[in-house]
Structure 1
Amino acid sequence: MLCCTGPGCCNLAENNGWRYPTLLLCAFGFFSMMRPSEPFLTPYLVGPAKNLTTEQVTNEIFPVWTYSYLAMLFPVFLVTDYLRYKPIIALQGISFIITWLMLLFAQGVLAMQFLEFVFGIASATEVAYYSYIYSVVSSEHYQKVTSYCRSVTLVAYTLASILGQVLVSVWSVPYFYLNVIALVSVSVAFLSSIPLPMPRTSMLFHRKETEKIQVPPSTEDVKPKSENSSPQNNPDGENCSQLPVTSDRNVYTLAKATEQNNAKNVLLKLWSDFIKCYSSPQIFYWSIWWALASCGYYQVTNYIQVLWDHVEPSQNATVYNGGVEAVSTFMSAVTSFAVGYIKLDWAIWGEMALGIFSTVNSGALFAIDLSDNIWICYAGYVVFKATYMLLITIATFQIAANLSMERYALLFGVNTFVALLLQTIMTVIVVDSRGLGLDIITQFLIYGSYFAAISGLFFIRGVYTLIQHRRRRKRKMESEIIKGNNLSPESETMCRNVTRI
């Protein structure tokens, strides 16, 4: 370990405090999600404030977010790690501010398309928010701080939806002022990102390699040993004066060599981790469902307000979008929490569960699409969102249980990228005016069919997994019988069942 050459210090001081950065990051997460105008975005755009048509919003404006998110995701992933998270968190805050300034004062289709591009950047930079905390706190606090950061965003979104609904329904506040509140909130979020401590390390580019390398000193770089030196001068029992001291030239050479090889080493490590992640069949199939279902989920949540406005035009009736988002978010939290108490061997029954609940998602979307009653549409959306959150929670902890933090971050990024790639293909073909440009009813018919295909795929896979599991148990019992071993009570019961079959 290289010793510090500065006066009076031989070791780098590490800040082990976790409360201060966690508090600041939670403040950022809360205010960045405290956006009461978001459930009312489509009514605002097609209303007198922006005077856009439903076709312009659906086929020309909203697709830009998908393209921007996809294009920025991978570059942002690498830049986030290289810049050590904090600058990207600040960039997210700035992107939110630009988005809501344009919502308030910009006009026209082109301006709204640029707005969606900026919001896509904000969405892509979300990776910095969930990665930052792992670089400034010790691993013993990971579970706690992750819970805080995720919970605070969920609470903020729920409160924002309730606040927006109350302001619209009770006091008839125009949507414009909901956007003013959102602008103030995201501005506070940006300000809370400024005092965040700058991490010294990151998962890929900054891993303290220089601390693990000892540079061979030149003759002039070695100081003679002092007779008065004593181990007590160094807390680690080493005397700094007895170790070689690197000159500025050696430090510069080391840093330059490290910088030149760093990018190559990072890419090689990413590829190696990628192969190891997806070599597990269980992780592979869970990831396939994650990517496929997330693609459909993003598409549904992106265009559900357009369908609601089609079924019940916002100019003709009171809009309850905020209340529905609040209820659906709360139910999502309940189902996600309930997963922790379900006693089930997910390695055996997990794929079957994916197939069954994907059928529920498909049924909810068909009910939304075929009904002319806005309350059935609202209820179908609550069921769809809660079910998806239930399944994504199961998929998340099943994958995370078998991976290190670094590989989980990579797998999360790859799965999200694949989901966005599929969503982009679907958007180009189904939604974009340069593709088929289908109406909103036909779109949701396709989304329902899409989840039906997912449910069929994983139902078949689940049946196959159950059959394979039963065959393995049967072979194991037959092997025990042949060897003449004493069978356990459970094995004897299974043997009798096999004999009957």
Structure 2
Amino acid sequence: MDCWTRLKSSGWVYPTVVISIYGFFANCRPAEPFVTPYLIGPHKNISQEVLTNYLFPIWTYSYLVIIVPVFLLTDFLRYKPLIVLQGLFLVTNGVLLCFVPGLPAMTVLQVNFAVVTSTEVAYLSYIYSVIPAEMYQKATGYLRSAMLAGYTCGATLGQLLVSLAGLDYFYINAITLGIVSVALLVSFWLPMPQRGIFFKGEMADAPLGSQSQREDSAVVEEEKAEEGLGTGSEKTEGHAGCGLCSSESVAHAGHVLWKSFRDSYSSKHLIYWSLWWALATAGYGQIFNYAQLMWDHIEPSATSAVYNGGVEAVCTLVGAAAAFSAGHIKVTWTVWGELALGLFSALGAGAVFLMALTSSIWACYAGYIVFKASYMLLITITTFQIAANLAMECYALTFGINTFVALLLQTILTAIVVDESALGLDIVTQFLIYGSYYATISVVFLIRGTYTACSYHRYSGQTQVKEQKHEQSGEVISAEQF
């Protein structure tokens, strides 16, 4: 008990430990790599065409509708309620998969899972509202590691239960239900944040987590003073001006949101990184969502051994290694970054074409691993490049906007290519289109990256000439001005 008390009083350690434990159990879902074989199999008896062209698109449409209000509510309600909601919907999904038959139940499942994915922003942002700013980097590493460990353990456990124990998919879903129930219970132990990033709440006088936040608060107070607000007459009305729904809180939120937006997209380099993020994530979402259907098309799960869990575990480990290596690559990203985006996008496009054109399940698995690893490498570099140049609250807004744009593009792809009310294409043709989509991204960024690199070298040559001319006068032009 003394150890637990010391942990709770340690400041940043307790919330970091609890949210990391939650992240592990929430992402440890052994049944997830086998959801397509389970739905197609005798338990749910849903055809592959219905899954592809009707059921899975519902998740995309629901996600698009839910993500914006959830993003705002996450900060407004101060994170913890949304994390608890995510845990609750994970449990509800487990119950639907295990015990509720029929297509209507699976339709509800897709909507519920959209809530789960949209509330992930609460998990990723929660820690910044309860710990000091100097611990952000370390705590973020723990949270990402917990997610990675949970997903890897879940996929590995699922594969072992299928391949070695020969367990029926129903029981694997039941085990998953038990694991996510633990995540729900852990979520109640999270301390409630006393403030949000955008909405100040009742603890408006509490010190904010970053210098830019304190500056934003000071600006709002100064604007109010100039307008004759915030005087003694306001204080006589109790706490009416201090709540989350007060005009003061809404004005502060609007000010910070607008300032964050301007800061986030004021740099052309950040705009290019964000553009790749949105374009590539839209394609990644489609390939990730429909990969199991492609595998089942090449080698039907009803008559063949299934290694989906092992493939996902290998993908996660290879992707994690790629992401880890990204932090140790010494490259001038402002010069070579766009070219790298184009080259690795070309690699991803080739991997998707391989998945679409091969008749070998192992070649398809290999293509998926290469695609996912290249994406995880680039998204890590992109995230770092964006976050390194922005305040934390700007990053939160940028993450939300980029994710929304990606989801909007993914919805357009789904509505045109997948949905049965439009083209309703078969899975192979879909992947050919996704490969072409990534190839287009590659061409755009290869052209832009080549232009940037050539401009830099031309500018560097001109700078050297100018430096030689002005050497005697002591005037020096730095190449860093590029």
Task: Give the alignment's TM-score, normalised by structure 2.
Answer: 0.89
1:360 maps onto 2:347 in alignment: yes
Which of 403, 406, 418 lines up with 2:390 in the alignment? 403
Match of 1:39 in 2: 33
From the superposition, tell whether residues 256 and 192 of structure 1 become closer, same or farther in structure 2 (CA, over 3 Å).
closer
Match of 1:450 in 2: 437
Match of 2:50 in 1: 56
From the superposition, tell whether residues 457 and 326 of structure 1 become closer, same or farther in structure 2 (CA, over 3 Å).
same
> 2-side partners of 1:480 and 1:26: how far apart?
53
> 1-side partners of 2:256 and 2:313: how far apart?
42
1:107 maps onto 2:94 in alignment: no
Match of 1:76 in 2: 70
Match of 1:135 in 2: 129
Name the count of aligned residue pairs.
Answer: 448
- Structure 2 contact 336–453 (Cα < 8 Å) conserved: yes
Match of 2:277 in 1: 290
Q: SS of the residue aligned with 2:239?
A: helix
Q: Over the residues paired in the alignment, what is the CA RMSD in angstroms?
A: 2.2
- Structure 1 contact 16–138 (Cα < 8 Å) conserved: no
Match of 2:459 in 1: 472
> 2-side partners of 1:318 and 1:258: how far apart?
56
Cα deviation, 1:171-218, whole Å, max 9, x if unaligned, reads: 110000110011011111000011211110110102644568797668
- Structure 2 contact 241–247 (Cα < 8 Å) conserved: no
Cα deviation, 1:219-258, whole Å, max 9, x if unaligned, reads: xxxxxxxxxxxxxxxxxxxxxxxxxxx98x4433543698
Shift of 1:472: 1.1
> 1-side partners of 2:243 and 2:410: how far apart?
41
Match of 1:226 in 2: none
1:351 maps onto 2:338 in alignment: yes
Structure 1: state its 5+ residue gaps: 1-13, 219-245, 492-501
Which of 354, 367, 377 lines up with 1:380 in the alignment? 367
Match of 2:189 in 1: 195
> 1-side partners of 2:29 and 2:341: how far apart?
32
* Bigger mean CA deviation after superposition, 54-63 or 17-26: 17-26
Shift of 1:16: 6.0
> 1-side partners of 2:100 and 2:458: how far apart?
64
Match of 1:154 in 2: 148
Q: How does 1:410-489 map to 2 (within 5 A)?
A: 410-483=397-470, 485=472
Task: Give the alignment's TM-score, normalised by structure 1.
Answer: 0.86
Cα deviation, 1:259-297, whole Å, max 9, x if unaligned, reads: 123224322431232122112010000000000000000
Letter in 2 for 1:97: V
Shift of 1:480: 2.5
Match of 1:241 in 2: none
Which of 241, 252, 261 lines up with 2:239 in the alignment? 252
- Structure 1 contact 270–410 (Cα < 8 Å) conserved: yes
> 1-side partners of 2:98 and 2:199: how far apart?
39
- Structure 2 contact 204–242 (Cα < 8 Å) conserved: no
Q: SS of the residue aligned with 1:148?
A: helix
1:325 maps onto 2:312 in alignment: yes
> 2-side partners of 1:395 and 1:285: how far apart?
10
Q: SS of the residue aligned with 1:51?
A: coil
- Structure 1 contact 161–323 (Cα < 8 Å) conserved: yes
Shift of 1:114: 1.1
Match of 2:176 in 1: 182
- Structure 1 contact 60–113 (Cα < 8 Å) conserved: no
> 1-side partners of 2:248 and 2:232: how far apart?
22
* Bigger mean CA deviation after superposition, 436-445 or 126-135: 126-135
